[in-house]
Structure 1
């Protein structure tokens, strides 16, 4: 029994349902078992290789066909006696998967891997055996498709995430891995009706979350639409049936309107000298359902469920056909999209417009060439179907390669498989915005992306050093959502660092993984360095020297405190998880590896006697409290906050005073280091007369005092005055005083104060 290749597969709902009853889904374990499921169809004939041989013989050489036949014989022998849940011989599943791949015109090695894709997982065939029999290329493909089931995992979710990571990384090295996997999942979805309702929902949800977005990202729109409808039917069978009947009824009611539009279009295009192929298209049931949910509409309110596709010979004819139909019917404002000039991320190209047809019915039209149509339907698989080396396909392959490479970049910075899968899911957004760099380069980003996403898309260093952005020439916050057509400029500073708050609004997997990688590694390195400083100071109070890194005392201390290494001990000190004075006392000869409560109190007292020197550029191990914004020269105090290290406040800060009263044991004396940083932000409120040019004069005085304005807002207090809120950069309290004196020289300035809190 054979399935047609994917090239001929229909995305229509009825076709998908008819296909779904042909073969059953394999059992969860994949091992031989008896078919006992209620309602299982009678056993069909043994699967035959003849239809597959005929299909691949149309484009493969005889030697390649023989290689595929040899893979079939090996797979047939390996799966001998194994049955699917429907009771069919298991070999019917690899044959069906291979026929789908043959529809994409994949090469002999990929087809052999499709036939063998379950032999390692189900039948304990070794990878080395496949290498010896079919070569390393086939063995690598099969290994990339094999789930991780024989290792110990903490949970089923972790095992699944690790298997996905293995498959996606194999895909990044060879895109044929995911094509075979998508064909495998498509056949399983088509034959999902013989398993339990719970398993149908679970498999459908997994398909909708992972495999359908990957198919869309690779431009495989036929399989993407079929995945959506099959998942909808499996997850919500009652809603599916109700909507299916409603669409059939609406199709009959609107047949006259659609027929009238089609006749008018078929007459108008030849009259304009355009030879075109016009075909009707219908939104998928899942697409209609999702629109009803998102827009909170009833079915009767979803009018644009029908549309037309116009396929022409040349690119200019796309625009000519568009203009012709705009003269025939009135276009809906804001509903025109040019995906030819700016293709989608997956290489899709078409012109989209919505026209108001007879009786006020909105109808969507798509205009594309034949080559664009091939790419739109088959995506990256069109590389094997059509081997002309034209620009469109080369660009598509390049974009796909860049995305696959980004998966490897994310993997290199992500240790946890679940986190890696989350990053990939974020990267599979179906919609995109298209923005411009100042040099005119177009960059595609997921909908909802921000300037931070763009910064990391340009380069990791640009993202790590981003401090501000300009959108269309105007300063805008880094959290601003971008819109298509925006021109974005990223402002950077060598002193800038990524913020954990960025994770709340970035949208791309690359930006998310880069930020987390930076925070994880740099925070650790900074906390180790700062912890070493704190411990050195505490040891000096005890007249002890810091032990060398290879001193055996570190290993003893680590074992006794549950730490894994010297660096972990120092990092814990820097992050406030351990007190430096307590750790220092452990090195005292009279109290080796002993720490009593009394000793700990003595150590804290000793620590308070020697203030910790603050430079202000320690990174995340030392934070300057935003409530009071301390500057070098201010009297300061610092509290140890678990996981955050030292938080430095001004001595008169009300927030610090309240916290110190609650937990006095967590507060230590601090002082400014003579080598403090030169970049501190502080805020000024300036009341000035509302006169022309006053802001420019204030800015000039700030600049003359060797300072810089990083942010400014204003508020009208009255008709004659205005309140300016300035954020400026200074290097000390003394420098701030110089800036204030300079600003007072402006005659219009009535009042100026430093803002705390």
Structure 2
């Protein structure tokens, strides 16, 4: 029994009531008994681990339930104790906290990664319900990392990498900067022990060599602030081991170059004094232009507030200075834990908890069926680099660096994201892929007809936007594919002379059962996505009995061309209403429509005729289709404007234009992608261009692009 450590732990509980301390003693006794026969890999009694985790929780001045949960956090997972037993002994809240911290029950997973992703999802869900879960989890991870010397090197490195990827960024996102740096440095030592040792020695030596310069800068700052009549605390701020290593690696710098930037922290009484101190320091040393950041006016998403400036110190040395109040310093070090630590900052702590709760709620919304996808989405969301943009009403939104208009739209509301069609950035129209910059004023323009485009996935940055787009596309594709599959199967049955309604219900039931699907809609979806051939499904349905009828076969499938993802118009020939067309089922893509004379399908039509389906256009108003045309013109001034005007007059939009001049510059070949409703519309556009004297030739382009 670790008696001395337990006595120290009990002494640290002086902020709790005697009744709460008695409950904690009871929880310790229960945990010690449950883990009595267990040892850690180092040979120590297992109870030393829950005790250390509870000690870290006590340092944050968290409540009695959180301390008890820390002491009991492994009893569900490692001993025969049940959740109900914990609830009876220590209350429902403690049991819920412990359950959130426990890994999943003995479930089978395809891989270690999948198990980790699911465990992580469970932890985040519990964390979204109660923030104390993640604080205890981080304390647990910190102690595990600090006591891993007895573990195999490969396992140590794997756990350390997982911590760097997930747990350290969560600590940062919650504003736990001190813990964040400790986790990073510990992981660095576990993954690269030799590099860490060399770098530690180099940093120690550098500190000694530059002591005089550091003292001179420190004294200069103190004297300047005192002479300005400002009460302050000033101290040096050393870069962490891991951040130094990252800077050397990313910017290909030598150690001496990284250590050229010295950090100092100025802590003052209140916000006005922060700005007065900034003015005094800018008078002492010249500031570096563009290196000033005001995180007091616009705090970071994790609640961090400070003024940052870089000054040119003695001998041209860059000096980083952070200026903040005592309250800001507490929040910067402990983040959301400051809410428990410092009761005098109740308002700030509450505000920070609201922000954190909103972030956690956004994680809940990101859930999908795939744990690994959720894991990736959250990893994308855990980055410190942010830009701050404004809504038209002046609300500040924090987004990751590189986030686009679409990310902003989804950050405002899911429906705004789903229906965004354009945007105004700083009152000017901007494309949806426009990247946000600090201070941008963004207004989203929505349209009831607009819907998410798969292309958006190539440029969105936030996990929330990516998750919402994928969910919408998956749902839409399944719905559209189901409708298409039903029509394809109906057409196949009619071509075999069978009316679908005449097939008995038990034949459908047998078909569903033998296919391993839940219902007939799933079979339709598979047909629409090209995973099953309608002819095979039809013949299996009819295998039980002959269902003859006198209906004509070979009926063509009618399409609008606006079905979305389940029906795709081939990019090689770009068919439009009026063109003779034919369709092919392609696995995973649904039905792909080509023109009859498309050069890219000639070989397949002759060698695999069973893959081709007769289709025809069904009239629909208002839809425009992309089409490529080549226009050869005489090389005269203003001819492009004339051609563009003719296209516009015929009621067509220009999506893209490119130009190629001949070697003698007598003629220019204009390549347009325009939007037309049907063949007659295209003919009208071409007629309009033929009236221009400078136009010598117009051809509809049919390339080999598929």
CA offset at residue 82 of structure 1?
2.5
1:223 to 156, 161, 179: 179
Q: Deviations over 1:302-343 (max 9, x none)?
A: 144530011112212222222221222222233222222222
Judge conservation of contact 2:383–2:400 (CA < 8 Å) in 1: yes
- In the TM superposition, what are the counterparts of 1:641-652 in structure 2 within 5 Å? 641-652=586-597
Which secondary structure state, in structure 1, belongs to the residue aligned with residue 149 of structure 2?
helix
Q: How far did 1:350 drift?
A: 1.2
Distance 1:440 1:693, change over 3 A: farther
The alignment status of 1:120 with 2:76, answered yes or no, reads yes
- SS at 1:609's partner residue? coil
1:328 aligns with 2:274: no
Unpaired runs of 5+ residues, structure 2, are none
Which of 285-294 and 72-81 deviates more? Answer: 72-81
Q: Which residue of 1 aligns with 2:532?
A: 578
- C-alpha contact (below 8 Å) 1:625/1:648 kept by paired residues: yes
Bigger drift between 73-82 and 131-140 goes to: 73-82
Shift of 1:169: 0.6
Contact 2:285–2:312 (8 Å) recurs in 1: yes
1:618 lines up with 2:563 in the alignment: yes
The alpha carbon displacement at 1:453 in A equals 1.8
Alignment check: 8 A CA contact 1:303 1:361 kept: no
In the alignment, does 2:262 pair up with 1:306?
yes
Separation of aligned partners in 2, 1:607 and 1:286: 75
Shift of 1:376: 0.9
Alignment partner of 1:524 out of 478, 494, 500: 478
The answer to whether the Cα contact below 8 Å between 2:77 and 2:102 also exists between their aligned partners in 1 is: yes
Classify 1:388/1:697 alpha carbon distance in 2 versus 1 (closer, same or farther; 3 Å): farther
CA gap of 1:62–1:635, structure 2 versus 1, over 3 A, is same
- Which is worse superposed, 395-404 or 174-183? 395-404
Q: CA deviation at 1:249?
A: 1.4
Flag the 1:125–1:517 CA change in 2: closer, same or farther, 3 A. same
Q: Distance in 2 between matches of 1:454 and 1:161?
A: 27
| Aligned twin of 1:665 | 610
User: Shift of the alpha carbon at 1:293?
Assistant: 0.9
Contact 1:312-1:367 within 8 A present in 2 as well: yes
- Aligned partner of 1:197 in structure 2 is 153
Within the candidate set 51, 55, 58, 2:12 is matched to 55
1:94 to 47, 50, 54: 50
Q: Cα distance 1:431–1:720, how it changes in 2: closer, same or farther (>3 A)?
A: farther
Q: 1:74 aligns with which of 13, 20, 30?
A: 30
Q: Distance in 1 between matches of 2:635 and 2:306?
A: 54
Matched, 1:512 2:477: no
> Is there any run of 5+ residues in structure 1 with no aligned partner, and where?
1-43, 594-605
Tell which deviates more after alignment, 147-156 or 641-650. Answer: 147-156
Q: Distance in 1 between matches of 2:504 and 2:73?
A: 50
Provide the rounded CA distance (Å) in 1 between the counterparts of 2:119 and 2:504: 39
| More displaced 10-residue stretch of structure 1: 435-444 or 628-637 | 435-444
Equivalent residues of 1:616, 1:677 under 8 A apart: no
1:734 has 2:680 as partner: yes
Shift of 1:561: 4.1
How many angstroms does 1:87 deviate by? 2.5
Residue deviations 1:675-711, cap 9 Å, x none? 4662323355667899999988877766655444556
Q: 1:565 to 1:749 in 2, by over 3 A?
A: same
Q: Secondary structure at the match of 1:192?
A: coil
CA distance, structure 2, for counterparts of residue 508 and residue 540 of structure 1:
48
From the superposition, tell whether residues 590 and 165 of structure 1 become closer, same or farther in structure 2 (CA, over 3 Å): closer
The 5 A counterparts of 1:307-386 are 307-386=263-342
Aligned equivalents of 1:494, 1:725: Cα separation in 2: 32
Structure 1 residues 608 and 292: alpha-carbon distance in aligned structure 2, compared to 1, 3 A threshold: farther
CA contact (8 A) 1:681 1:729 kept: yes
Name the stretch that deviates more: 720-729 or 374-383. Answer: 720-729
Post-superposition CA distance 1:214-235 (Å, at most 9, x none): 1011110010000000000111
Question: Which residue is equivalent to 1:569?
Answer: 523
Aligned residues: 700
Cα pair distance change 1:474/1:743, threshold 3 Å: farther
Q: Does 2:200 match 1:278?
A: no
SS of residue paired to 1:643: coil
* Partner Cα separation in structure 2 for residue 701 and residue 371 of structure 1: 67
Q: Distance in 1 between matches of 2:434 and 2:336?
A: 33
TM-score by length of 1: 0.85
Whole-angstrom distance in 2 between the partners of 1:692 and 1:486: 39
SS at the partner of 2:500? coil
Structure 1 position 131, deviation (Å): 0.8
Corresponding position of 1:629: 574
Change (3 A) 1:109 1:722: farther
**Superposition RMSD on alpha carbons, in Å?**
3.2
Moved more, 530-539 or 221-230: 530-539
Question: CA–CA distance in 2 between the matches of 1:389 and 1:357?
Answer: 35
* Distance apart, 1:84 and its partner CA: 2.0
1:312 to 1:290, Cα distance in 2 relative to 1, 3 A: same
Is it true that 1:484 corresponds to 2:438 in the alignment? yes
Q: Does the 8 Å CA contact 2:575/2:581 hold for their aligned counterparts?
A: yes
CA deviations on 1:352-380 (whole Å, 9 max, x unpaired) are 11112112221211111111111111111
Render the CA deviation track for 1:483-522: whole Å, top value 9, x for unaligned: 3233444444444433334333322111121122122222
Q: Deviations over 1:583-632 (max 9, x none)?
A: 22333377679xxxxxxxxxxxx999322211112121100122332211
Give the Å deviation of 1:438: 4.2
CA distance in structure 2 between the aligned counterparts of 1:676 and 1:627, rounded to whole angstroms: 24
Q: In terms of mean alpha carbon deviation, does 433-442 or 177-186 score higher?
A: 433-442
The whole-number CA distance in structure 2 between the counterparts of 1:61 and 1:698 is 84
CA distance in 2, matches of 1:156, 1:520: 26
Deviates more, 1:102-111 or 1:75-84: 75-84
**CA 1:660 to 1:350, structure 2 compared with 1: closer, same or farther past 3 Å?**
farther
In 2, Cα distance between the equivalents of 1:319 and 1:662? 78
**CA distance in 2 between partners of 1:703 and 1:581 (Å):** 45
Provide the rounded CA distance (Å) in 1 between the counterparts of 2:509 and 2:7: 68
CA distance in structure 1 between the aligned counterparts of 2:504 and 2:34, rounded to whole angstroms: 55
CA distance in 2, matches of 1:701, 1:727: 14
SS in structure 2 at match of 1:193: coil
Q: Does 1:207 align with 2:151?
A: no
Alignment pair present for 1:446 and 2:391: no
Measure, in 2, the Cα distance between the counterparts of 1:441 and 1:752: 52
2:565 partner SS: helix
Give yes or no for the alignment of 1:167 onto 2:123.
Answer: yes
Looking at structure 2, the residues matched to 615 and 524 of structure 1 have their Cα atoms a distance apart, in angstroms, of: 18
Partner of 1:544: 498
The SS at the match of 1:619 is coil
Q: What's the TM-score, normalizing by structure 2? A: 0.91
Deviating more after overlay: 318-327 vs 369-378: 318-327
CA contact (8 A) 1:149 1:159 kept: no
Does the aligned pair in 1 maintain the 2:494–2:552 contact within 8 Å? no
Alignment CA distance shift 1:84-1:743 (3 Å): same
Aligned partners of 1:205, 1:554: CA distance in 2, in Å? 51
Cα distance change on mapping 1:653 and 1:295 into 2, 3 Å = same
Whether the 8 Å CA contact 1:608–1:668 is kept in 2: the answer is no
